[in-house]
């Protein structure tokens, strides 16, 4: 003790000529994101520095008395050599902390110490004692430290053997320290007010045991304290006010739960005062010059700090909780850069978790809940939107924060939540639930921000895309760009965040992909609902969505391949976009719209079509050229659609175009007549009357003179669209279209080959690229039009030379020459007008019509025509002339073709040489045989079949009707009583 007093004599007194330096006021700590202390606010105005000074006083007092050996004060002015005068025990207690072994706690937590990299320069300074270290760490001035130590020495001198827990330290300090111990009266007043506030906080506002409002001691103490705010109280030992103060303080501090007075004093162990003071002490473990580092003397200092537990009413459980908060708070306050602090806080939280399971104290549970809620709240503020907080550069920090947040949540739910206790623990996986919440929330937030605030960037990308592709008028649409950005977000999630989150949730990546899938799906639904027709923009958006969906599903499947259900649950959260189906439906609508426009185009052009042979070099209709041009444009537009299913939808396009072209062909050949349109109605059987006029077929026809012969290039029915020139143009049109189908099909193959969506197998099925209906319609139309044109020429345009002229009256004077001459002129016109590939066909049809007309004149020409056997030579010569015209000395039709179509005529002409009796007998025999009649009954009248043949009864009968001799007349009169006039 003498040594201690000698050391004290080195301290300052009021007689010192040089006043001590002003107190060191530490700079304010960082706001730490405005994190409030979870331990609660003290209900009195005590600043952080005032709490620090109070905590330091408690620390010095606890260390001085806990072992019976005071924490010796050694001023900085003393050299290191002066320490050698101390006793061995004292030196051991005050041993240098600079060279102690590395802290065990720091090893466990992986915390660094300042200067651990060996970068320090110069000679080491004199080793610090524990007292000096703590004073420096808490930024307490030497003068304040000296006052406290002197006061404590005085207290110990007067109360030898009394333990610190039986003292109210602020009260004892008030008793020992006078104005003379301070620089000036103002400093003393501030110290006294602070000390009284501490007493009010510990004994009245936050007592360890609940305090009755009517407690007289509390009322007296409050009056004294509030009175001291106006005028400092006298603190002498025998001073009355001091006696009243001591009495009130002791009465409040020595209360016990049963109402009796105990030896122990409780003045700083009420919540939250004790926790806030202890928090301040723990803060001293961080280096004053590098607040993210634990001092290397941590173990030694912590050993001394723990000696304050008795005064502050703490234990290991509360220490673990406070230390967890301090480590966490320090990590936040120092800029969240030191992962060692974060790891230490997480490790300390594991100890808290053990305590939470073993401790059921309600007060502790409240503090625990408040602390964990604060930690988890701070963590989740970042984790619920971790895309805003973290990236590749600081993702390691995220892992620590996730661990901290999940650990806090597990303790809150599993060890504090009553609801959780009532449920089976197997039903709740707190870690997975929190990670799922973080993933969904953060991705939804990132997605919402991208869709809302990313628009200017998207517009900028779109503008740059337009500038980069001037030849492409349609730049990438915004939603398509957004789909790519979402894909990038997914890849970043998979590569950066999912590996970390997978530690707590095995399906972290799959869950993230499902969340993005749903978010973009909602945007896509709105987009699709606004689509009314297929546009390149719509297709690009849908294709981008389809690709995004494939990417998201692929990541989800890969992530969940090892899960119990193989990822089925995750996939069920990803309802398909069905973008390809939407595209297909839009394409079908587009096809229908195009086809409707094509049909309208056909109708419009057909209404304007004149079928003039002067329209173009092909001498085909201008309407056909326009229609084929529109077909080509439709094919080009179809293959320009950026769709992934050209091969699949191409048959539908071709079939639609095929039907439209078939419609045009049907219109082109309609109303032009046919063979039967121009064939005359077969007249009733009658007996020939030589020299009489043949009066048509129910309608009078005037026989044209040579001056009235019609011009074959002028329509005779009053409708210019159906004349021979127009019919030729129609035939040419169909023939030209027939050739264009091959060109179209080759072009389709080329377009398909250049399509990005085509595959090799798409070219193996040629039928899918062919027109089927319209080429067949063209062939049928050409045949029908050629036949119509031929029979029109023969039976309409040249009826004056055939029906009205050939063999009327005397056959020798009405030969076939006029008909042949006009027919030849028509043939020349047709051959000059018609397409070369159709020329032979139409001339063949004209030949067939001529042969049919020749036979009709001979066998159904009416009563104005009559032939003798001598006329047979004239008839044969005329037919030969008709055939020779078509043969044209070898330049016309082939002989084989002429013979083929002249078979019927050649088989019938010999009948005109045969004697009448032979014809009658042959007729009688064939009729009886065919109609099963007997010789005694009257011969039935054979019907007219129109098929002329020597073995056909009606043909023989008609030869008899036009035979100009008596036997024929008698037979016909007797057998059928045929009239000589119609």
State the sign of the Cα–Cα–Cα–Cα dihedral 818, 677, 724, 895.
negative
Taking phi over 0 as left and psi of -120 to 50 as alpha, with beta for the rest, 33 belongs to left
Residues in Cβ contact with 884 at an 8 Å cutoff, skipping those fewer than 6 apart: none
Query: What integer pLDDT is reported at residue 4 of this predicted model?
Result: 30
Query: What integer pLDDT is reported at residue 509 of this predicted model?
Result: 92
Higher-confidence residue of 217 and 277: namely 277
Query: What integer pLDDT is reported at residue 672 of this predicted model?
Result: 87
C-alpha dihedral over 875, 877, 881, 886, to 10 degrees? 70
Rg (CA), the chain: 60
pLDDT above 70: percentage of residues in the chain? 80
Distance of CA 695 to the CA centre of its chain: 83
> pLDDT tens digits, residue range 269-286?
999 999 999 999 999 998
Contact 807, 856 (CB under 8 A): no
Query: What integer pLDDT is reported at residue 764 of this predicted model?
Result: 58
Across 194-199, average pLDDT: 93
> pLDDT tens digits, residue range 6-22?
333 333 333 343 444 44
pLDDT above 90: percentage of residues in the chain? 47
Query: What integer pLDDT is reported at residue 115 of this predicted model?
Result: 54
Please tell me the distance from the alpha carbon of residue 859 to that of residue 683, in angstroms, as a whole number.
Answer: 10
Total H helices, total E strands in the chain: 40, 0
> pLDDT tens digits, residue range 317-337?
999 999 999 999 999 988 888
Please tell me the distance from the alpha carbon of residue 37 to that of residue 25, in angstroms, as a whole number.
Answer: 21
Query: What integer pLDDT is reported at residue 260 of this predicted model?
Result: 74
Query: What integer pLDDT is reported at residue 92 of this predicted model?
Result: 32
Query: What integer pLDDT is reported at residue 418 of this predicted model?
Result: 58
Please tell me the distance from the alpha carbon of residue 24 to that of residue 16, in angstroms, as a whole number.
Answer: 20
Helices 339-358, 362-383: axis angle to 10 degrees equals: 140
> pLDDT tens digits, residue range 637-666?
998 887 878 888 899 999 999 999 999 999
> pLDDT tens digits, residue range 898-920?
999 999 999 999 999 999 999 99
When the pLDDT of each residue in the chain is averaged and rounded to a whole number, the result is 81
Query: What integer pLDDT is reported at residue 683 of this predicted model?
Result: 79
Query: What integer pLDDT is reported at residue 19 of this predicted model?
Result: 43
- What DSSP line would sit under 4-69, residue for residue? HHHHHTTS--TT-SSPPPPPP-PPPPP-TTT---TT---SS---HHHHHHHHHHHHHHHHHHHSSS
Across 963-981, average pLDDT: 86
- Is the pLDDT assigned to residue 299 strictly greater than 80? yes
Q: What is the phi/psi pair of residue 809, to 5°?
A: 75, -115
Provide the H-helix boundaries in 313-416.
316-333, 339-358, 362-383, 386-389, 395-411
Query: What integer pLDDT is reported at residue 321 of this predicted model?
Result: 95
Query: What integer pLDDT is reported at residue 699 of this predicted model?
Result: 34
| Residue 241 buriedness (CB in 10 A; 0-12 / 13-18 / 19+) | middle
Name which of 574, 431, 448, 579 is nearest 510 in CA terms: 574
| Residue 435 buriedness (CB in 10 A; 0-12 / 13-18 / 19+) | buried
Query: What integer pLDDT is reported at residue 16 of this predicted model?
Result: 40
Contact 565, 507 (CB under 8 A): no
Please tell me the distance from the alpha carbon of residue 915 to that of residue 176, in angstroms, as a whole number.
Answer: 173
- Is the pLDDT assigned to residue 69 strictly greater than 50? no
- What DSSP line would sit under 303-315, residue for residue? HHHGGGHHHHT--
- CA–CA distance from 951 to each of 59, 373, 418, 687 (Å)? 144, 117, 115, 21
Query: What integer pLDDT is reported at residue 114 of this predicted model?
Result: 61
Long-range contacts of 262-266 (CB under 8 A, 24+ apart): 263/166, 264/165, 264/166, 265/165, 265/166, 265/167, 265/168, 266/207, 266/208, 266/209, 266/313
> pLDDT tens digits, residue range 687-740?
887 543 333 333 333 333 333 334 443 333 444 567 899 999 999 999 999 999
Name which of 337, 338, 287 is nearest 109 in CA terms: 338
Query: What integer pLDDT is reported at residue 936 of this predicted model?
Result: 61
Report whether the peptide linkage leading into residue 408 is cis, meaning its omega lies within 30 degrees of zero. no
pTM, 2 dp: 0.70
Contact 439, 447 (CB under 8 A): no
Query: What integer pLDDT is reported at residue 202 of this predicted model?
Result: 92
Long-range contacts of 876-883 (CB under 8 A, 24+ apart): 876/909, 878/815, 878/816, 878/854, 879/816, 879/854, 879/905, 879/909, 881/816, 881/817, 881/820, 882/816, 882/819, 882/820, 882/850, 882/851, 882/854
Please tell me the distance from the alpha carbon of residue 808 to that of residue 857, in angstroms, as a whole number.
Answer: 9
> pLDDT tens digits, residue range 394-444?
898 999 999 999 999 999 888 776 544 555 555 668 899 999 999 999 999
Please tell me the distance from the alpha carbon of residue 522 to that of residue 480, in angstroms, as a whole number.
Answer: 14
Please tell me the distance from the alpha carbon of residue 345 to that of residue 321, in angstroms, as a whole number.
Answer: 10
Distance of CA 796 to the CA centre of its chain: 70
For residue 470, the surrounding DSSP H or E stretch is: none
Query: What integer pLDDT is reported at residue 302 of this predicted model?
Result: 92
- What DSSP line would sit under 632-675, residue for residue? HHHHHHHHHS--S-HHHHHHHHHHHHHHHHHHHHHHHHTTS--H
Neighbours of 972 (CB within 10 A): 22
- CA–CA distance from 958 to each of 669, 694, 939, 953, 963 (Å)? 36, 16, 15, 9, 9
Residues in Cβ contact with 771 at an 8 Å cutoff, skipping those fewer than 6 apart: 654, 657, 658, 661, 741, 744, 745
> pLDDT tens digits, residue range 671-690?
888 888 898 888 788 888 75
- Is the pLDDT assigned to residue 768 strictly greater than 70? no
Q: Under DSSP, is residue 479 helix (H, G, I), strand (E, B) or coil?
A: helix
> pLDDT tens digits, residue range 735-755?
999 999 999 999 988 888 887
Q: How confident is the model at residue 759 (pLDDT cuts 50, 70, 90)?
A: low
Q: Under DSSP, is residue 496 helix (H, G, I), strand (E, B) or coil?
A: helix
> pLDDT tens digits, residue range 521-561?
998 998 888 888 778 788 888 889 999 999 999 999 888 88
Contact 943, 954 (CB under 8 A): yes
> pLDDT tens digits, residue range 94-128?
333 333 334 555 555 556 666 544 444 444 566 77
Across 508-513, average pLDDT: 92
Across 923-941, average pLDDT: 80
Residues in Cβ contact with 207 at an 8 Å cutoff, skipping those fewer than 6 apart: 252, 255, 266, 270
> pLDDT tens digits, residue range 353-364?
999 988 888 899
Q: How confident is the model at residue 947 (pLDDT cuts 50, 70, 90)?
A: confident
Please tell me the distance from the alpha carbon of residue 672 to that of residue 664, in angstroms, as a whole number.
Answer: 14
Neighbours of 643 (CB within 10 A): 25
């Amino acid at each position: 003790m003498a040594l201690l007093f000698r050391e004290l004599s080195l301290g300052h007194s009021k007689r010192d000529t040089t006043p001590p330096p002003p107190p060191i006021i530490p700079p304010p700590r960082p706001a730490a994101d405005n994190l409030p202390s979870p331990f609660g606010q003290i209900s009195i105005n005590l600043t952080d520095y005032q709490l620090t000074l109070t905590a330091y006083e408690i620390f010095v007092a606890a260390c001085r008395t806990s072992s019976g050996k005071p924490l010796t004060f050694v001023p900085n002015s003393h050299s290191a050599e002066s320490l050698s005068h101390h006793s061995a025990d004292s030196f051991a207690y005050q041993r240098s902390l600079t060279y102690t072994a590395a802290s065990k706690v720091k090893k466990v937590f992986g915390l660094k110490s300042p200067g651990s990299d060996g970068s320090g320069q110069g000679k080491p300074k004199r080793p610090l004692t524990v007292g000096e270290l703590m004073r420096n760490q808490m930024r307490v001035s030497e003068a304040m430290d000296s006052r406290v130590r002197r006061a404590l020495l005085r207290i110990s001198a007067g109360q030898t053997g009394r333990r610190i827990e039986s003292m109210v330290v602020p009260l004892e300090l008030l008793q020992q320290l006078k104005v003379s111990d301070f620089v000036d009266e103002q400093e003393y007043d501030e110290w006294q007010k602070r000390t009284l506030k501490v007493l009010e906080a510990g004994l009245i506002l936050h007592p360890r045991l609940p305090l009755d409002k009517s407690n007289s001691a509390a009322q007296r103490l409050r009056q004294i304290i509030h009175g001291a705010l106006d005028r400092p109280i006298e603190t002498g030992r025998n001073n009355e006010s001091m006696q009243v103060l001591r009495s009130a303080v002791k009465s409040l501090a020595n209360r016990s739960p049963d109402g009796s007075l105990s030896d122990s004093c409780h003045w700083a162990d009420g919540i939250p005062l004790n926790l806030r003071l202890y928090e301040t002490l723990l803060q001293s473990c961080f280096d004053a010059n590098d607040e993210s580092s634990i001092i290397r003397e941590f173990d030694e200092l912590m050993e001394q700090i723990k000696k304050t537990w008795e005064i502050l009413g703490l234990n290991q459980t509360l220490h673990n909780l406070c230390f967890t908060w301090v480590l966490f708070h320090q990590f936040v306050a120092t800029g969240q850069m030191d992962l060692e602090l974060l790891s230490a806080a997480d490790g300390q939280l594991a100890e808290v978790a053990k305590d939470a399971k073993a401790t059921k104290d309600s007060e502790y549970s409240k503090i625990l809940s408040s602390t964990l809620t604060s930690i988890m709240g701070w963590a989740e503020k970042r984790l619920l939107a971790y895309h805003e907080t973290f990236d590749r550069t600081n993702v390691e920090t995220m892992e620590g924060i996730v661990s901290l947040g999940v650990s806090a949540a597990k303790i809150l739910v599993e060890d504090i939540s009553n609801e959780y206790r009532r449920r089976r623990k197997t039903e709740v996986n707190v870690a997975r639930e929190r990670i799922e919440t973080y993933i969904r929330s953060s991705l939804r937030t990132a997605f919402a921000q991208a869709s809302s605030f990313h628009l200017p960037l998207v517009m900028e990308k779109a503008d740059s895309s337009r500038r980069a592709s001037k030849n492409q008028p349609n730049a990438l649409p915004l939603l398509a760009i957004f789909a790519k950005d979402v894909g990038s977000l997914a890849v970043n999630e998979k590569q950066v965040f999912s590996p970390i989150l997978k530690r707590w949730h095995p399906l972290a990546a799959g869950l993230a992909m499902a969340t993005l899938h749903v978010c973009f799906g909602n945007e896509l639904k709105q987009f699709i609902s606004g689509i009314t027709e297929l546009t390149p923009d719509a297709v690009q958006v849908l294709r981008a969505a389809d690709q995004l969906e494939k990417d998201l599903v692929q990541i989800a499947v890969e992530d969940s391949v090892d899960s119990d259900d193989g990822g089925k649950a995750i996939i069920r959260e990803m309802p398909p976009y069905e973008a390809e189906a939407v595209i297909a439906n839009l394409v079908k609508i587009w096809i229908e719209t195009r086809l409707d426009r094509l049909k309208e185009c056909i109708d419009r052009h057909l209404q304007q079509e004149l079928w003039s042979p002067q329209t173009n070099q092909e001498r085909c209709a201008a309407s056909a050229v326009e229609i084929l041009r529109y077909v080509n444009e439709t094919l080009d537009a179809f293959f320009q659609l950026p769709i992934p299913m050209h091969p699949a939808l191409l048959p539908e396009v071709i079939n639609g175009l095929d039907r439209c072209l078939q419609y045009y062909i049907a219109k082109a050949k309609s109303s032009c007549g046919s063979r039967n349109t121009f064939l005359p109605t077969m007249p009733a059987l009658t007996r020939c009357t030589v020299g009489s006029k043949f009066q048509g077929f129910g309608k009078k026809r005037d026989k044209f003179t040579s001056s009235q012969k019609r011009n074959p290039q002028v329509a005779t029915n009053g409708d210019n669209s159906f004349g021979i020139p127009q019919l030729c143009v129609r035939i040419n049109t169909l023939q030209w279209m027939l050739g264009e189908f091959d060109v179209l099909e080759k072009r389709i193959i080329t377009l398909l080959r250049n399509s990005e969506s085509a595959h090799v197998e798409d070219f193996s099925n040629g039928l899918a690229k062919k027109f089927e209906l319209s080429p067949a319609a063209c062939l049928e139309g050409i045949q029908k039009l050629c036949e119509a044109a031929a029979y029109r020429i023969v039976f309409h345009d040249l009826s004056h030379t055939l029906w009205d002229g050939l063999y009327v009256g005397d056959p020798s004077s009405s030969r076939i020459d006029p008909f042949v001459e006009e027919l030849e002129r028509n043939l020349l016109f047709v051959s000059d007008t018609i397409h070369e590939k159709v020329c032979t066909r139409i001339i063949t049809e004209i030949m067939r019509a001529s042969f049919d007309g020749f036979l009709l004149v001979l066998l159904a020409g009416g009563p104005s025509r009559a032939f003798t056997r001598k006329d047979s030579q004239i008839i044969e010569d005329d037919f030969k002339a008709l055939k020779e015209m078509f043969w044209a000395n070898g330049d016309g039709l082939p002989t084989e073709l002429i013979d083929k179509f002249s078979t019927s005529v050649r088989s019938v002409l010999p009948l005109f040489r045969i004697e009448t009796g032979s014809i009658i007998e042959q007729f009688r025999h064939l009729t009886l045989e065919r109609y099963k009649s007997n010789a005694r009954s009257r011969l039935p009248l054979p019907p007219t079949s129109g098929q002329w043949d020597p073995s056909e009864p009606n043909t023989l009968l008609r030869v008899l009707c036009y035979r100009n001799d008596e036997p024929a007349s008698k037979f016909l009169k007797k057998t059928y009583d045929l009239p000589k006039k119609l």
